[in-house]
Amino acid sequence: MSSQNSTLSRYGSSARPAPYPLFYPPPPPVDQIAVEERVAALGKRSIKKGAKVAGLTLAVRMMDLTTLEGKDTPGKVRQMCAKARTPLAGDPSVPSCAAVCVYPNLVPTAKAELAGSGVKVASVATAFPSGQSPLDVKLSDVRRAVELGADEIDMVIDRGAMLAGDYAKVFDEIAATKEACGPAHLKVILETGELGSYDVVRKASEIGIAAGGDFIKTSTGKVQPAATPAVTLVMLEAIRDHFLATGRRIGMKPAGGVRTAKQALHYLVLVKETLGDAWLTPDLFRFGASALLNDVLMQLEKERTGVYQASEDFSKD
Amino acid sequence: MSAEITKTGEALPALDFGHAWEYAPSPEATDHVRIAPRHELFVGGAWRQPHSSRYFDTISPSTEQKLAEVAEADERDVDDAVQAARRAYDRYWSRMPGRERAKFIFRIARAIQEKARELAIVETMDGGKPIKESRDVDLPLAAAHFFYHAGWADKLDYAFQGRAWRPLGVAGQIIPWNFPLLMAAWKVAPALACGNTVVLKPAETTPLTALLLARIVEEAELPPGVVNVVTGAGATGAALAAHPGVDKVAFTGSTDVGKKIQRAVAGTKKKLTLELGGKAANIVFADAPIDQAIEGIVGGIYFNQGHVCCAGSRLLVEESVHDLVVRKLRDRMATLRLGDPLDKNTDVGAINSGAQLARIRELVAAGEEDGAERYSAPCALPGKGFWFAPTFFTGVAQSSRIAREEIFGPVLSILTFRTPEEALEKANNTMYGLSAGIWSDKGAKIFWMAQRLKAGVVWGNTYNKFDPSSPFGGYKESGFGREGGRQGLLAYTEVGQ
């Protein structure tokens, strides 16, 4: 990682001293065992009946329905947009999803398809998923996605720089990306599965927040493990400390690996009992998922009718 | 929730743990649990009426409803039980090879697992603790203690560096109401493994699971008299401790009663172990993982409504993080769910008895009189039953009653320190010495503290962790003797030189 040789303009000098004052005091340490115990305990909350319906309905409203594949086509994206707009045809009690999340080339298709629906279009950018490109390429990626109509940008941090200890580079790239976003909301993907420890996740969360991210997000979905309840709790605690210090509310998005309604409710329990009521809204909490929606719909239909429907009763898009 | 105001008058951002998304009631089903209306004494393998024909009520502390009536054993009943235990010791249990004793103890362990759901529900109904605790802590640990000691029964020749050993004889065991079945397991399992027979006296407010344990012993077909259960209040326990046919007295409970028992057995051949009160220091350094330490503080004092002898009832927090810790603790307490102990989402259940509630109220009033600042979680208390909201005091003086006396309720006293030496001095400045907790990211600091703390159990970056292989017991007025582990076997054996 030779930022010294880079010809790119960076925010601040590449020869700047270590970014210690910026992140002083250092983040509090995170105890792995105790964090995992806490999420396991919250995973035992019993969510039944009305609470289950309310929670799952909220989960639908919080969903960023996602397709991020090389084989994505306008047809595929149009189908997904229809699902996001009306997740369950014939049941108006099921709300629309929060957003769809696609690659930049498919933003115009999604934008046209969702016009007037209130469903946002999110685009990944910044050389997603690896982030291993020069900064000007990443920023141009962001600007083009916004020009094409993206309401939200999901960027990736430079994990190489993060792990090498070049926190200033990580910070500066996020800050530059935020500026390139203009009016679009910025979600900062930490790719926690590559960060190795909760302490690094905590530090990356603080950098993402300090550099201007509106949301912090666990994963691209391209790396395992993706979102876990424990890593989400660590990020929620960083968000909580930022709020307690500044009053500013940062959003959270676990993405990848959330496949079942039961898991979604577990995440909502984490939010409710860590950050409280203000975060129980799509403005501040999202699920990045593709398979999750149908399981949530199946559970909602089960609560409504008393019986489980076959999986074929739900459209696969 | 209104915003907190700082000393300079500015409002701090406040989290709101309100009702945007409420959990629906989720009560554990109890329809398959039948509690017999009347319970007799279990003596010599048979269920017998008490000589006095007197019975007392056991109630649910969360509803104040009567659950059953239970035989009150007097001196004659205790004498019958001790004699039955003596006969069983002489005829069967002391002669039986360890591998045969092990089979019976394994049977008990498996039966506890099979009946875990019923036992957990009865434990919660009789004692008031949340079902999630009886289900996830009391029952698995009770079974684990029987499994662990079953494993020792045929290996005792290797437990004491090759020295010869023999059982003591008849053990009189008096247990408290805070972990009724688990304390029975802690006492009965090692006694049986080491070849002793048992007369068990459960607490008068929580006798039901000990009686269900007697049913399990019966179904496991242990020889008659190996385990006897006599129910009653303090007089029954005193009769058991004073009985000349008892070779060993094991008591868990208050320091006051422990001292009386120690006086009663003084000058006799009886061996004694006491596991008494505590006023543990839970020490939080500024370099601790603070959010996890908050969980440890909450678990340390509000677990089982604070009815825990090793509860972390004195929070010693480094002064530089005091305000932060208090602010976070208040937020965390806003999410504690107090109410129906049978609801699977309940975090804080009922106080075990009206008498204990009165004791908690008295000490809390003393704390307020001493000038400490009280904070109680904003939870609504049910109309019936015995309840006390999770509470802490700040500005507590080391000399205050709430810093020195065991409250045995959900009440935390918060004190500050500046250096590790000061933390150590304050932590040890108590008549008790059962347990302590240390929260720091620095391993060397944890070991430095742990070596110097006068406490039988020291937890690092965790709290209230129990395992049958780990010895548990106190220093000073927290008692003597150890339960669990190889060391715990010494409480039920005579070991040669």
Assess whether B243 and B378 both reside in one domain. no
Q: Residue A110: its pLDDT value, please?
A: 98
Strand stretches in A72-230, DSSP E: 99-102, 120-124, 152-156, 185-189, 215-217
A38 touches chain B (CB under 8 A): yes
**Residue A205 pLDDT > 60:** yes
Q: Is A178 a known active-site residue?
A: no
Alpha carbon separation from A215 to A104, A187, B147, B486 (Å, rounded): 19, 4, 49, 53
CB contact under 8 A, B17 and A49: no
Assess whether B195 and B250 both reside in one domain. yes
DSSP B198: E
Assess whether B334 and B394 both reside in one domain. yes
Q: How many residues does chain B have?
A: 497
Query: Which listed residue (B309, B318, B405, B483) is catalytic?
Result: B309
Q: What is the mean pLDDT of chain A?
A: 92
Tokens of B478: 């927290």
Per CB-CB distance under 8 Å, the chain B contacts of A278 are 15-16
Assess whether B266 and B292 both reside in one domain. no
Assess whether B344 and B389 both reside in one domain. yes
A37 touches chain B (CB under 8 A): yes
> Chain B interface, mutation test: which of A30, A42, A45, A46, most B Cβ atoms within 10 Å?
A46
Q: Is the peptide bond before A129 cis (omega within 30 degrees of 0)?
A: yes
Q: Residue B9: its pLDDT value, please?
A: 67
pLDDT digits (tens, 9 = 90+) for B52-73: 999 999 999 999 999 999 999 9
CATH superfamily of the domain spanning A32-307: Aldolase class I (3.20.20.70)
pLDDT digits (tens, 9 = 90+) for B281-339: 999 999 999 999 999 999 999 999 999 999 999 999 999 999 999 999 999 999 999 99
Averaged pLDDT for residues B181-195: 98
A182 touches chain B (CB under 8 A): no
Is B467 inside a domain boundary?
Answer: no
Q: What is the CA radius of gyration of chain B?
A: 23
The pLDDT > 90 percentage for chain A reads 87
pLDDT band at B6 (very low <50, low <70, confident <90, very high): low
Task: Give which of B327, B333, B493 is closest to B411, Cα–Cα.
Answer: B333
Distance from CA of A283 to the nearest CA of B (A): 15
- Decide: B122 and B219 in contact? Cβ < 8 Å: no
Q: Residue A26: its pLDDT value, please?
A: 80
**Dihedral over alpha carbons A120, A126, A129, A134 (to 10 degrees):** 170
Is B214 inside a domain boundary?
Answer: yes
Is B470 inside a domain boundary?
Answer: no
pLDDT band at A17 (very low <50, low <70, confident <90, very high): very low
Averaged pLDDT for residues B172-181: 98
Alpha carbon separation from B243 to A88, B72, B83, B235, B265 (Å, rounded): 74, 17, 10, 12, 9
Q: What is the largest CA-CA distance in chain A?
A: 65
Q: What residue in A sits closest to B18 (Cα-Cα)?
A: A277
Compute the distance between CA of residue A269 and CA of residue A47 in angstroms, rounded to an integer: 9
- The alpha helices in A114-228, defined as continuous H runs, are 135-147, 159-164, 167-181, 198-210
- The number of angstroms, rounded, from the C-alpha of B28 to the middle of its chain's C-alpha atoms is 23
Query: Which listed residue (A141, A154, A158, A166) is catalytic?
Result: A154
CB contact under 8 A, B17 and A280: no
Assess whether B45 and B182 both reside in one domain. yes
Q: Which of B13, B292, B344 sits opposite A31 (nearest CB)?
A: B292
- Decide: A196 and A222 in contact? Cβ < 8 Å: no
Q: How many residues does chain A have?
A: 317
Assess whether B87 and B144 both reside in one domain. yes
Per CB-CB distance under 8 Å, the chain B contacts of A280 are 20-21
**Residue A72 pLDDT > 60:** yes
Is B188 inside a domain boundary?
Answer: yes
- β-partners of residue B412 are B392
Compute the distance between CA of residue B104 and CA of residue B416 in angstroms, rounded to an integer: 51
- The alpha helices in B287-400, defined as continuous H runs, are 290-302, 322-333, 354-369
ipTM: 0.94
Q: Is B309 a known active-site residue?
A: yes
Query: Which listed residue (B40, B204, B275, B318) is catalytic?
Result: B275
Q: Is A217 a known active-site residue?
A: yes
CB contact under 8 A, B462 and A276: no
CB contact under 8 A, A52 and B132: no
pLDDT band at B4 (very low <50, low <70, confident <90, very high): low
Q: What residue in B sits closest to A38 (Cα-Cα)?
A: B295
pLDDT digits (tens, 9 = 90+) for A258-290: 999 999 999 999 999 999 999 999 999 999 999
**Residue A220 pLDDT > 70:** yes
pLDDT digits (tens, 9 = 90+) for A138-155: 999 999 999 999 999 999
CB contact under 8 A, A46 and B23: yes
* Domain ranges (residues) in chain A: 32-307
Q: Residue A18: its pLDDT value, please?
A: 44
Q: At B144, which amino acid appears?
A: A
Q: Is the peptide bond before A225 cis (omega within 30 degrees of 0)?
A: yes
Averaged pLDDT for residues A9-13: 42
pLDDT digits (tens, 9 = 90+) for B392-422: 999 999 999 999 999 999 999 999 999 999 9
From the CB of residue B443, how many other CB atoms can be counted at a distance below 10 Å? 10
Q: Residue A201: its pLDDT value, please?
A: 98
Phi-psi region of B157 (alpha: psi -120 to 50; beta: other; left: phi over 0): alpha
Distance from CA of B455 to the nearest CA of A (A): 23
- β-partners of residue B199 are B172, B228
pLDDT digits (tens, 9 = 90+) for A28-71: 999 999 999 999 999 999 999 999 999 999 999 999 999 999 99
Assess whether B260 and B312 both reside in one domain. no
- The residue segments making up the domain with residue B445 are 281-460
Compute the distance between CA of residue B272 and CA of residue B145 in angstroms, rounded to an integer: 21
Alpha carbon separation from A81 to A62, A68, A150, A212, B394 (Å, rounded): 15, 14, 14, 29, 55
pLDDT digits (tens, 9 = 90+) for B379-393: 999 999 999 999 999
Averaged pLDDT for residues B249-260: 96
Distance from CA of B463 to the nearest CA of A (A): 10
Assess whether B362 and B245 both reside in one domain. no
Assess whether B440 and B485 both reside in one domain. no
Alpha carbon separation from B447 to B430, B440, B450, B455 (Å, rounded): 21, 10, 5, 13
Report helix, strand or coil for A305.
helix
pLDDT digits (tens, 9 = 90+) for B432-489: 999 999 999 999 999 999 999 999 999 999 999 999 999 999 999 999 999 999 999 9
Assess whether B364 and B254 both reside in one domain. no
Q: How many domains in chain B?
A: 2
CATH number, domain containing residue B333 = 3.40.309.10
pLDDT digits (tens, 9 = 90+) for B104-123: 999 999 999 999 999 999 99
Is B20 inside a domain boundary?
Answer: no
Is B125 inside a domain boundary?
Answer: yes
pLDDT band at B36 (very low <50, low <70, confident <90, very high): very high
**Residue A232 pLDDT > 70:** yes
Q: What residue in B sits closest to A25 (Cα-Cα)?
A: B287
Please enumerate in sequence order all residues whose Cβ is within 8 A of that of A147, keeping only pairs 6 or more positions apart, or say none.
none
- Decide: A157 and A195 in contact? Cβ < 8 Å: no
pLDDT band at A219 (very low <50, low <70, confident <90, very high): very high
- Decide: B187 and B227 in contact? Cβ < 8 Å: no
- Decide: B184 and B213 in contact? Cβ < 8 Å: yes
Alpha carbon separation from B496 to B160, B161, B167, B168, B490 (Å, rounded): 9, 11, 11, 12, 11
Q: Residue A22: its pLDDT value, please?
A: 52
Report helix, strand or coil for B66.
strand
Averaged pLDDT for residues B163-174: 97
DSSP B370: T
Is B24 inside a domain boundary?
Answer: no
Tokens of A168: 């200033």
CB contact under 8 A, B16 and A51: no
The pLDDT > 70 percentage for chain B reads 98
CATH number, domain containing residue B212 = 3.40.605.10
Q: What is the mean pLDDT of chain B?
A: 96
**Residue A6 pLDDT > 70:** no
**Residue A16 pLDDT > 80:** no
Assess whether B288 and B395 both reside in one domain. yes
DSSP A276: B
